[in-house]
Amino acid sequence: MQDQRQGVGPVYQRRYSVRISGSPLTAAQLIERLGDDLNAASPVEIAVFDKTSGTSHPMETSDEYVVHMPGPWNCPVRVVERTPVSFRFATLTGHMEAGEIEFRADSREGDLVFTIESWARSGDRLADVLYGKLGIAKEMQLHMWAHFCTRVAELSGGRMVGDVEVQTERADPSGSGGRRLAARALTTAFTRTFTLAARLRERPLHPRGLVVDATLDLYGTSRYWEIPFLDDRTELRGEVRLSRAMGLPDALPDVLGLALRWRQPDDTEPDDTEPEATAELLLATTGHTRLGRHLLRPASGWSPAFYGCLLAYRAGDRRILLGAVARRDQVVPAGLPALARALDERPLLLDLVVATEFGAWERFGELRLHGPARSDDRAAARFNPARNPIRGLSPAGLLQQVRGATYTAVQDLPRRAGSARHERRRQPEKTAP
C-alpha cells in the first residue's frame, strides 16, 4: 500500500457530504447498493471503477479496484475496512495520491447523510504540481466527488437537501515522524507504569466506586454538529460509575470521576449487527474556564461540581470538549456513603454540556442518576472509550492516543496475569454455606 509517508507535499483532509430526504433506504442499504456498483454513482466520463481482485458481490475487505481516469494515471485501491454503513479504500503503488478515502452513510433526524472523506498527500511530485500549483487535479477531484454525492442522492430514491458541502483542511506532515516517536515513547512509559501499578493494586486509579442507573435526556444545541449524540432529540438509558481517583479518605478532597455508558441507537436493519453499539464517556472534576477545563481539580462534593472530559475530541473540523454540571440546588459531600444516601432520597441531576476547545459551554441534555447505588468492590465496572467510542467523535491529540493504549493494556492485564489470583481470593465467598 502507498500510505501518507510515501507521498509528497502537505496532507489534505477533504470532506464531501450531502443530506438526503425522503429515501426509502436505510444507511446500510444505501452503502450496500453503492458497494455493489460504484459506477452507478461515479461520473464515468472522469472515473470508471474496475474490480481487479475479489468476487463480484458483495464488496469485501481486501477487494481491489483500479480507477481509470484521464491522464497518465490509473489509480489502484484496496478495500481496507467494510462495515454495514461504510467502506474505506487505501491507495496502492501507482496511485496519484497516498492515503485513504472513506464512504459512509448515517441517519439524522429521519434523513440520510452521505459523506466521502479522504486523508491523503499527492503520490508524486507531478501530482503535487498538478494539485497544489496548477489546481488542475483539485478541480477534477472537486467535480468528481461532488457529482458522486449528487448521484448517490438519486440512487437512494430521495432528494437532496441543499447543496453538496465541501470542506478541506491542510496540514504540514513534516513533524509527523517526530510525533509518532513521541507518541510511542509516551505510550510505552504510561503503559509500563500503570501495568506495574495494576500488579500491586488491581485498579491503580479510581479503586472503589458506586454504580447507578442513568437516564440521558438529549435535546441538542443551537448549532448542528453532525454528531447524533449532540444533535438528536431522544431519551437513552445507561449506567454510571462514580468514584474517587486516589481513593483518599472521604474527609479529604479528591478528583471525582464520572464514567458514563449507554447504548447508542442502532441505525441499521433490525437483523443487522452493530459492532460498536455501546458508547462510553469518562469525566472527572475539572475547572470550567478556558484554562481550567484542561486541568483536573480535586473536589469536596459530588454536587455542585463541574465534570469535564479534560482531553478533546474531533467533531468534523472542530475540536470539542464534553462535560456535565451538577446543579447547585443539591449538596452532596464527596464520600461514597454520603452519595449513596443522597441517591436513595432523590435522583442526582446534571446538565450535559459541550464547547469548542476554547469556546463557551452550551447545554445539550440532562443526565439523571437514579438510586439505589450498587457497590462494585467485588467486580469493578470497567470503562474504555477507545473500545466503545461515541459515533462521530474521534479522540484528538497525543494524550488521547496514549490514554487509549494505556487503558487497554491495564484492563487486559488481569485476564493475563491477575485473574487466577483474584479468583482464588474470592473462592471462599462462593463456596461458603
DSSP 333: E
Confidence at 417, pLDDT banded by 50, 70, 90: very low
Rounded Cα–Cα distance for residues 24 and 107 (Å): 12
Cα maximum dimension of the chain: 82
Inform me whether the pLDDT recorded for 296 exceeds 60.
yes
Tell me the CATH number of domain 4-171, given options 3.40.47.10, 3.40.50.2300, 3.50.30.10, 3.30.530.20: 3.30.530.20
The DSSP line for 232-247 is --EEEEEEEEEEESS-
Rounded Cα–Cα distance for residues 78 and 394 (Å): 23
Confidence at 416, pLDDT banded by 50, 70, 90: very low
The cell for 158 is 430521495
72 or 357, which is more confident: 357
Residues carrying CATH 3.30.530.20, the chain = 4-171
The DSSP line for 343-384 is HHHS-EEEEEEEEETTS--EEEEEEEEEEEEEE-SSS-----
Rounded Cα–Cα distance for residues 171 and 181 (Å): 18
Residues carrying CATH 2.40.180.10, the chain = 179-417
At 290, give phi and psi (nearest 5°).
-60, -30
Confidence at 9, pLDDT banded by 50, 70, 90: confident
Q: What percent of the chain has pLDDT over 90?
A: 36
Secondary structure string (H, E, C) spanning 103-146: EEEEEECCEEEEEEEEEEEECCHHHHHHHHHCCHHHHHHHHHHH
Confidence at 274, pLDDT banded by 50, 70, 90: very low
Inform me whether the pLDDT recorded for 129 exceeds 90.
no
Phi-psi region of 130 (alpha: psi -120 to 50; beta: other; left: phi over 0): alpha
Reported pTM: 0.54
According to the model, what pLDDT value does residue 205 have? 75
Sign of CA dihedral 227, 231, 237, 239: positive
Closest CA to 92 of 177, 213, 3: 3
Q: Which CATH class is domain 179-417?
A: mainly beta
Average pLDDT of the residues of the chain: 80
Q: Which pLDDT tens digit goes with each residue over 326-349?
A: 998 889 999 999 999 999 999 999
Neighbouring residues of 67: CB distance < 8 A, sequence distance ≥ 6? 47, 48, 49, 50, 74, 75, 76, 77
Instruction: Decide if 373 contacts 211 (C-beta within 8 A).
Output: yes
